[in-house]
Amino acid sequence: MGPLKLAIIGGGPSSFYVASRLLSLFPQNDTLTSPLKIHIYDRLWAPHGLVRYGVAPDHPEVKNCTHKFDQVAQDPRLHFFGNIQVGPQTPPVIPHALPISLSALKSHYTHLLFSTGCNIPTLHPTLPPSDRVIPALSLVQWYTQHPSRPPPPPLHKTEHVSVIGQGNVALDVARMLLTPPAILEKYDVPSPVLDVLHRSAVRHVSIIGRRGLLQAAFTTKELRELTTLEGTFMTPLAPEILAPLSPPAPSNAKLTRQQSRILQLLQKGSPGSPTATSELPHGIKTKSWSLDFFRSPTGLTADGQYLTLAHTMLDERARAVPTGVTSLLRTDLTVTSLGHHADPSAAYFDPALGHLRTDRGRVLDTAGHTLRRVYASGWAATGARGVLAATMIDAYAVADVILADHFSNGRGEVAKLESGAYSKEDALVADDVDMVSIPKEVEEGVKAGRVVQYDQWKKIDAEELRRGAEMGKERERMGWEEAHQFLTSMGAW
């Protein structure tokens, strides 16, 4: 059986779960002669993708999955190379990342896996980004101090925020804007972010969706966190929003278990109703949020102070259609939270799907034929949906296909393909490789102290935790310059 030397583009949870499964199914042997090697490349200097840069800071338990990734990285057959941009950059650009073309990888690897995620926010056609309209991704990357360094939102002069979209990212954003900073202080929220939150004037967040409760994409846990958030209350929903959904209205489709539980939560509302003065003792003003269903934005007024909203209703196929009624909503900042798609300049991006096209994890070319030994996992293959459990299940399934192909014949091909044929395009990978080589650009980058490998990441990880402990918080994050400086001072390059 030939060697399996795999380059994984992207070092988030999908990559680590694929690597984990491959490593566990091959016996370890002598690492130099092992038929399995895995190299993970990430354009960010730190590994773990959305687990580090997407999960909300007040959800630290989700990040426990990195303990397993640490163990995977200890396998000598795996190497991580951070701060390397494979292929063309899409905005937002990471200026300090080392660029390398996909073709530079070819002669060093027999297999390729794209686990590049969906990093481009889907925008609203009537709300182009401006100083008053930002994608939710910018906020998330701001409060996680993502290396693309989006600017902080002007929260000191923001009282009302409109979030367009009703998924979990929308609720995360609302929760981060409304949670008392004193509560956030002990989590992994960077100090510069806490400074901005301490000066925030935000009083109300409207979470706006063009359809109704049954079509909202948020899940129970995130909703529950908002309804029980200290110092805030939920604007009670109009009875007509809830009424058509309660039994015994005969026109309902049967509610799923999740929908029933969400309905119960919304009927209960927030503990404690708003007082006439909306003030607690000590002059602390309560904050509020609302779920504004059946509203679709049509733009901002010329002065930027109002969102114009079309009122909607559902047609017989549960699609939103305008009723003809419109209204204005006074707002200071609009955050669009409408999902994400993959990078359109990426190899084999399918514009109809918004991500790569695959057959069971095998990447398809533009003619719909299967590329040999080129795979995709996670959001790059499925689109931007699914939490950690779904990511793990998908990653294991793709790893199984990689292995099934590898053991089927000498060239990693199977007899029967769903797509019908293997691609006639030039291969992205080689048949015979040196098992320990890396592209010379990467070698040079390693020597020049521009590439972060896993043991170097672990030193930074330990230092971030140490600084956090000194400040009574979970972690204090470093940016690239700081991290680079720290590794230099430790002689760790």
Partner 1 sequence: MTTHPSGSHIKLHFRDSKGELIKTVEANEGDDILSIAHEHDIDLEGACEGSVACSTCHIILSPKHYDLLPEPEDDENDMLDMAFGLCETSRLGCQVKLTRELDDMTATLPAATRNMFVDGLSHPAGKKPTHH
134 in Cβ contact with 165 (< 8 Å):
no
If one asks whether residue 394 binds partner 1 (CB under 8 A), the answer comes out as yes
DSSP string, 163-227: EE--SHHHHHHHHHHHS-HHHHTTSS--HHHHHHHHT----EEEEE-SS-GGG----HHHHHHHH
Instruction: State the Cα–Cα distance between residues 173 and 222, nearest whole angstrom.
Output: 11
Query: Between 60 and 154, whose beta carbon lies closer to partner 1?
Result: 60
Q: At what angle do helices 388-406 and 13-25 cross, to 10 degrees?
A: 40
- Residue closest to 197 by CA, chosen among 231, 138, 153, 230: 153
Please, what is the minimum distance in Å from the beta carbon of residue 65 to partner 1? 4
Please, what is the minimum distance in Å from the beta carbon of residue 11 to partner 1? 16
Range 320-339, binding partner 1 (CB under 8 A): none
Please, what is the minimum distance in Å from the beta carbon of residue 394 to partner 1? 8
Query: Between 21 and 355, whose beta carbon lies closer to partner 1?
Result: 21
| Contact with partner 1 (CB under 8 A) among 186, 311, 360, 369 | 360
Please, what is the minimum distance in Å from the beta carbon of residue 353 to partner 1? 18
User: Taking the chain, what is the end-to-end CA distance rounded to the nearest angstrom?
Assistant: 37
Please, what is the minimum distance in Å from the beta carbon of residue 221 to partner 1? 4
| Contact with partner 1 (CB under 8 A) among 5, 21, 43, 484 | 21
If one asks whether residue 369 binds partner 1 (CB under 8 A), the answer comes out as no
The one segment of 24-32, 120-128, 180-188, 270-278 that binds partner 1 by CB under 8 A: 24-32
The one segment of 105-113, 320-328, 403-411, 443-451 that binds partner 1 by CB under 8 A: 403-411
Query: Between 28 and 485, whose beta carbon lies closer to partner 1?
Result: 28
Q: Which residues contact 145 (CB under 8 A, 6 or more apart)?
A: 190, 192, 193, 477, 479
* Pairing state between β 232-234 and 355-356: unpaired
Q: Which amino acid, 275?
A: T
Query: Between 68 and 467, whose beta carbon lies closer to partner 1?
Result: 68
Instruction: State the Cα–Cα distance between residues 33 and 221, nearest whole angstrom.
Output: 48
Q: Which amino acid, 35?
A: P
Query: Between 27 and 91, whose beta carbon lies closer to partner 1?
Result: 27
Secondary structure (3-state) at 308: strand
- Show the tokens assigned to 376: 């995709």
If one asks whether residue 458 binds partner 1 (CB under 8 A), the answer comes out as no
| Contact with partner 1 (CB under 8 A) among 159, 350, 400, 474 | 400
Secondary structure (3-state) at 259: helix
| Contact with partner 1 (CB under 8 A) among 183, 313, 325, 387 | 387
Please, what is the minimum distance in Å from the beta carbon of residue 397 to partner 1? 4
If one asks whether residue 409 binds partner 1 (CB under 8 A), the answer comes out as no
If one asks whether residue 219 binds partner 1 (CB under 8 A), the answer comes out as yes
| Contact with partner 1 (CB under 8 A) among 82, 87, 209, 361 | 361
- Show the tokens assigned to 486: 């720290």
| Contact with partner 1 (CB under 8 A) among 42, 75, 188, 464 | 75
- Show the tokens assigned to 236: 């009670």
Query: Between 159 and 400, whose beta carbon lies closer to partner 1?
Result: 400
* Pairing state between β 333-336 and 133-135: parallel
If one asks whether residue 397 binds partner 1 (CB under 8 A), the answer comes out as yes
H helices within 248-387, ranges in order? 257-268, 379-382
Q: How far is CA 230 from the centre of its chain?
A: 26
DSSP string, 59-104: -GGGGGHHHHHHHHHTSTTEEEEESEEES---SSP-TTSEEE-GGG
- Residue closest to 376 by CA, chosen among 354, 395, 393, 389: 395
The DSSP letter of residue 271 is S
Range 45-74, binding partner 1 (CB under 8 A): 59, 61-62, 64-65, 67-68, 71-72
Continuous segment of H or E residues that includes residue 358: strand 358-359
If one asks whether residue 27 binds partner 1 (CB under 8 A), the answer comes out as yes
Q: Which residues contact 277 (CB under 8 A, 6 or more apart)?
A: none
Q: Which amino acid, 18?
A: V
Bind-site residues: 14, 50, 86, 166-169, 210-211, 222, 379, 386
If one asks whether residue 25 binds partner 1 (CB under 8 A), the answer comes out as yes
Query: Between 1 and 249, whose beta carbon lies closer to partner 1?
Result: 1
Bind-site residues for NADP(+): 166-169, 210-211, 222, 386
Query: Between 63 and 311, whose beta carbon lies closer to partner 1?
Result: 63
Site map 254..273 versus partner 1, x via CB under 8 A: ---xx--x------------
Query: Between 2 and 129, whose beta carbon lies closer to partner 1?
Result: 2
Instruction: State the Cα–Cα distance between residues 152 and 196, nearest whole angstrom.
Output: 8
Query: Between 72 and 320, whose beta carbon lies closer to partner 1?
Result: 72
The DSSP letter of residue 38 is E
Query: Between 15 and 162, whose beta carbon lies closer to partner 1?
Result: 15
- Residue closest to 433 by CA, chosen among 35, 82, 115: 35
If one asks whether residue 404 binds partner 1 (CB under 8 A), the answer comes out as yes
Q: Which residues of the chain form contacts with partner 1 (CB under 8 A)?
A: 20-21, 23-27, 59, 61-62, 64-65, 67-68, 71-72, 75, 219-221, 224, 257-258, 261, 360-361, 387-390, 392-394, 396-398, 400-401, 403-404, 406-407
